[in-house]
Amino acid sequence: MTQHPNVIVVLTDQQRWDTVGAHGNPMGLTPNFDRMARTGLFVKNSFTCQPVCGPARSALQTGRYPTQTGCYRNSISLPRSERTLAHYFGDAGYRTGYIGKWHLADNEPVPPEERGGYQDWLASNLLEFTSYPFDTVMYDAECSEVKLPGYRVDALTDAAIRYIDQQKNNPFFLFLSYLEPHHQNQTDDYPAPIGYEESMRERLVVPQDLATLGGSTSEHLPGYLGMVKRLDEAFGRLVEALYSLKLLDDTVILFTSDHGCHFKTRNDEYKRSCHEASIRVPTLFHGPGFANRGAFDGLVSLIDLPPTLLDAAGIEVPAAMQGHSVLRMAQEASTSDNVFIQVSESHVARALRTQRWKYEVEAPGADGWNQMASGCYVESLLYDLDADPYELSNLIESPAYASIRAELRRLLLERIAAAGEEVPEIVAREGAGLAAAS
């Protein structure tokens, strides 16, 4: 393994796992992702630990659950006491840079003390509000406005390629955070590059959950997929730039997303639920330590990605991080049996995802904006993913699954405790034929 490989994180926003060919999408949108997945390590079962932007990003920066950092919902700044990937890589002699959407600060432009330790900076706290698809505005290290030409995905990619070229003689850690394929908040639409939405509509293949439940799918999915296609083209350009600079073999690349998108099928917006469409994301690693490792079948949480990056760079993983290195799991042929999900803002919930089961409990009457957790949850969802992969049949009230619920409840309580939360009471839904338990 290269002693001090460069490290690049490519983070998309709100990208469903099933938009990529490696997960079976038939539309040919992501040839670059698919190629890198084949020649690196493809994480087949990758999940966010919190399906909303700010909390997911706090976990990806720190390797700690949002309830530990305090960033359990949007509009909470990352505490300055938190150690981030930028601190760990910086301490190891890396030059650290951030480009794109931050979403972990109180101010816009983001002042130096709210940048999580990153040395070089070209970003916006809320990129969706400082920019539009063809009007990219961010702020540099001096908090000066920088306006970049082109479609927003391309503007950020161009900036990243310039940064890589500038740092090519030093080990660097670059975090490239796109807004796409997130909706444009002000207009509640998914604006693709010119001509891309029309192209998607002509050959659209709709995932079964969206085809069945509808939501805003017919209005929004074509534009969304057009954005995904352009993101993959940009990813290809980034890889080609590394190749041209003879850096590709010496660079660890992580491609992932903060959460998915269910197009108003599970609630009145796009995420904040424990369904696959909301929590499952496309993830791959490429570069030193990951070459030709193929598909990894274990269940991986976003909380596992930061320790994996440090491990790949030969940096000791701090005890404060709550995840486990995927690189180490792949080397030792070990896997995790489940992943833990926290849900906030729209409601307070906790969920467990195993290879076969999805189990969620919800705090009745809790204020998801002002409450981080609850002392009591009620069982709300149970899906058999083998029989019902699109999560259309909720089994939570079926007496036939009482023993399954009991085992999942036990596992969920273990994960809640391991995440550092107080152990709550979990109560069966009325009519499920199961006594309250804790």
Look at the pTM and tell me if it is higher than 0.85: yes
CA 356 vs. chain centroid, Å, equals: 21
3-state secondary structure of 273: coil
Residues 391 and 314 in one domain: no
Task: Please report whether residue 73 resides in a domain.
Answer: yes
Cα distances (angstroms) measured from residue 197 to each of 14, 168, 229, 230, 306: 18, 36, 10, 11, 34
Domain match, 205 and 236 both: yes
10-residue averages of pLDDT along the chain (438 residues) = 86 98 98 98 98 98 98 98 98 98 98 98 98 98 98 98 97 98 97 98 98 98 98 99 98 98 97 98 98 95 98 97 95 88 97 98 97 98 98 97 98 98 94 45
Please give the residue range of the domain that contains residue 381. Answer: 347-427
| Domains identified in the chain, total number | 2
Q: Are residues 313 and 352 in the same domain?
A: no
What pLDDT was estimated at residue 331?
87
* Nearest residue to 150 (alpha-carbon basis) of 136, 164, 163, 167: 136
* Residue recorded with tokens 């003689």: 169
Task: Tell me: do 324 and 353 sit in the same domain.
Answer: no
225 plus 256 within the same structural domain? yes
User: CA 399 to CA 361: how far, in whole Å?
Assistant: 17
Q: Residue 106: which CATH number?
A: 3.40.720.10
Q: Tell which phi-psi region holds residue 6, choosing left (phi > 0), alpha (psi between -120 and 50) or beta.
A: beta
Q: In sequence order, what are the beta bridge partners of 353? A: 339, 358
Name the residue among 126, 122, 148, 125 with its Cα closest to residue 135: 148
34 with 161, same domain: the answer is yes
Indicate if 323 and 404 belong to the same structural domain.
no
Can you tell me the distance from the alpha carbon of 126 to that of 403, in angstroms, rounded to the nearest whole number?
45
Residues 283 and 210 in one domain: yes
- Does 205 map to a domain? yes
Cα separation of 181 and 239, whole Å? Answer: 20
Same domain, 316 and 362: no
Domain end point (choices 296, 331, 366): 331
Residues 261, 355 within the same domain = no
Same domain, 45 and 96: yes
Residue 121 within a domain: yes
Distance CA 165, CA 69 (A): 34
Residue 183 · residue 189 · CB < 8 Å: yes
- Asked whether residue 433 is domain-assigned, the answer is no
Whether residue 158 is found in the same domain as residue 249: yes
Q: What pLDDT sits at residue 437?
A: 36
Closest CA to 350 of 65, 46, 62, 79: 65
Please report, for the domain that includes residue 395, its CATH number: 3.30.1120.10
Query: What pLDDT is stored for residue 431 in this prediction?
Result: 63
Q: Among 281, 307, 331, give the residue marking a domain's end.
A: 331
Q: Tell which of 279, 303, 331 closes a domain.
A: 331
249-288, pLDDT tens digit by residue? Answer: 999 999 999 999 999 999 999 999 999 999 999 999 999 9
Give the dihedral sign, CA 146/148/151/154: negative
Alpha helices of 167-315 — where are they, by DSSP H? Answer: 196-202, 208-213, 217-244, 276-279, 305-312
Q: Which residues contact 257 (CB under 8 A, 6 or more apart)?
A: 11, 12, 13, 14, 15, 48, 281, 282, 283
Phi, psi of 223 (to 5 degrees): -65, -40
